[in-house]
């Protein structure tokens, strides 16, 4: 993964901690981990943003699903301790007709069971588009999860640009206003990583369909503002656009150019 990222001129990457549709995790190869850490150090990588499986739902109405989610998260965090100081991003969950109140309660319960002081990974709640019964479509919902979690020092937020647009936040014409609101409701110090995706849908559509950078409703100027922003530009940024590897290399080059970095 590290070598592949280098080949794309990336200095961070995301990876699934296990099959994204769930299932068991592969055993760790200690030599592989050591080699990755060496590559990251030698090439000045930023923090990595691991992604939990999509099927993980801490607030499912099915107790077995909740149980799987808690065990999967605990297991992933334990394994991530061998790569200390990075991030673990997850979708807060879908409350499936139980209502957001109960959803938030279950998510907090799960996090209170799973997060352990001394773990070496900060867990990130992803901002969601609000498709179906997704919890985390507003900053208020994320703030309530953080408030309800005992070891909140182990929690942060990953802002997905497509998702916040689809949830109704106007990052195209009022990026500063949205960040002010984030600061007021959650606190900007919680913002630890970005998912950079353009969106196929207009603001507030609650759809969650990613588009290539500059080809969607957000547009290239929105991403220029993000990569030039004095705070945002310090965060790890992950692309989840519909691309193959060469497409990612091109988007990374575009974003570096927009950020005013010299290419060599």
Look-up of token digits 């009022």: 174
Shortest reach from residue 37's CB to Zn ion, in Å:
29
CA dihedral 68, 72, 74, 75 (to 10 degrees): 130
The answer to whether 151 is a known catalytic residue is: no
Residue 195 interaction partner, one of Zn ion, Fe ion, none, beta carbon < 5-8 Å per kind: Fe ion
Shortest reach from residue 241's CB to Zn ion, in Å:
10
The answer to whether 140 is a known catalytic residue is: no
The answer to whether 88 is a known catalytic residue is: no
| Interface residues toward Fe ion, by CB under 5 A | 126, 160, 195
The answer to whether 51 is a known catalytic residue is: yes
Nearer Cβ to Fe ion (144/195) = 195
Nearer Cβ to Fe ion (72/264) = 72
Q: Which of 51, 35, 47 is nearest to 3 (CA)?
A: 35
Shortest reach from residue 167's CB to Fe ion, in Å:
12
Q: 21, 30, 64, 244: which is the annotated catalytic residue? A: 21
Q: Which of 175, 177, 216, 173 is nearest to 194 (CA)?
A: 175
Shortest reach from residue 200's CB to Zn ion, in Å:
11
The answer to whether the beta carbons of residues 155 and 114 sit under 8 Å apart is no
Residue 137 interaction partner, one of Fe ion, Zn ion, none, beta carbon < 5-8 Å per kind: none
Q: 37, 209, 240, 256: which is the annotated catalytic residue? A: 240
Beta strands in the chain (DSSP E): 14-16, 49-51, 87-90, 93-94, 122-126, 134-135, 155-160, 191-196, 198-199, 210-211, 237-239
Nearer Cβ to Zn ion (76/126) = 126
The answer to whether 54 is a known catalytic residue is: yes
Shortest reach from residue 108's CB to Zn ion, in Å:
23
CA dihedral 14, 19, 25, 31 (to 10 degrees): -40
Which structure tokens are listed for 45? 């990588």
Q: 87, 195, 198, 248: which is the annotated catalytic residue? A: 195
CA dihedral 222, 225, 227, 230 (to 10 degrees): -150
CA distance 250 to 8: 8
Residue 166 interaction partner, one of Zn ion, Fe ion, none, beta carbon < 5-8 Å per kind: none
Nearer Cβ to Zn ion (141/208) = 208
The answer to whether the beta carbons of residues 185 and 202 sit under 8 Å apart is no
Neighbours of 87 (CB within 10 A): 22
Instruction: Considering only CA atoms, give the Rg of the chain.
Output: 18
The answer to whether 160 is a known catalytic residue is: yes
Binding mask 189-228 for Zn ion (x = CB under 5 A): -------------------x--------------------
Report the interface residues with Zn ion, using CB under 5 A: 208
- Which residues are part of the catalytic machinery? 21, 51, 54, 91, 126, 160, 163, 195, 208, 210, 240
């Amino acid at each position: 993964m590290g070598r592949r990222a280098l080949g794309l001129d990336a200095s961070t990457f995301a990876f699934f901690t296990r099959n994204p549709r769930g299932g068991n995790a592969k055993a760790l190869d200690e030599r592989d981990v050591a080699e990755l850490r060496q590559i990251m150090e030698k090439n000045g990588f930023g923090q990595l943003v691991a992604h939990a499986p999509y099927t993980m739902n801490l607030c499912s109405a099915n107790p077995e699903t909740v149980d799987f989610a808690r065990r999967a998260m605990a297991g992933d965090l334990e394994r991530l301790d061998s790569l200390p100081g990075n991030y673990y991003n997850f979708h807060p969950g879908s409350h499936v007709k139980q209502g957001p109140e109960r959803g938030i309660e279950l998510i907090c319960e799960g996090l209170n069971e799973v997060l352990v002081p001394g773990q070496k990974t900060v867990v990130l709640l992803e901002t969601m588009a609000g498709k179906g019964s997704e919890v985390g479509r507003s900053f208020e919902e994320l703030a309530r999860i953080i408030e309800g979690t005992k070891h909140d020092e182990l929690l942060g937020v990953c802002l997905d640009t497509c998702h916040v647009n689809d949830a109704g936040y106007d990052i195209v014409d009022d990026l500063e206003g949205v960040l002010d609101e984030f600061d007021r409701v959650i606190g900007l110090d919680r913002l630890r990583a970005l998912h950079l995706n353009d969106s196929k849908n207009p603001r507030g559509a609650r759809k969650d369909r990613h588009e290539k950078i500059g080809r969607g409703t957000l547009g290239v100027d929105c991403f220029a503002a993000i990569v030039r922003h004095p705070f945002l530009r310090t965060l790890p940024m992950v692309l989840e656009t519909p691309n193959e590897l060469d497409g990612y290399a091109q988007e990374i080059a575009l974003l570096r150019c927009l950020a005013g970095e010299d290419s060599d």
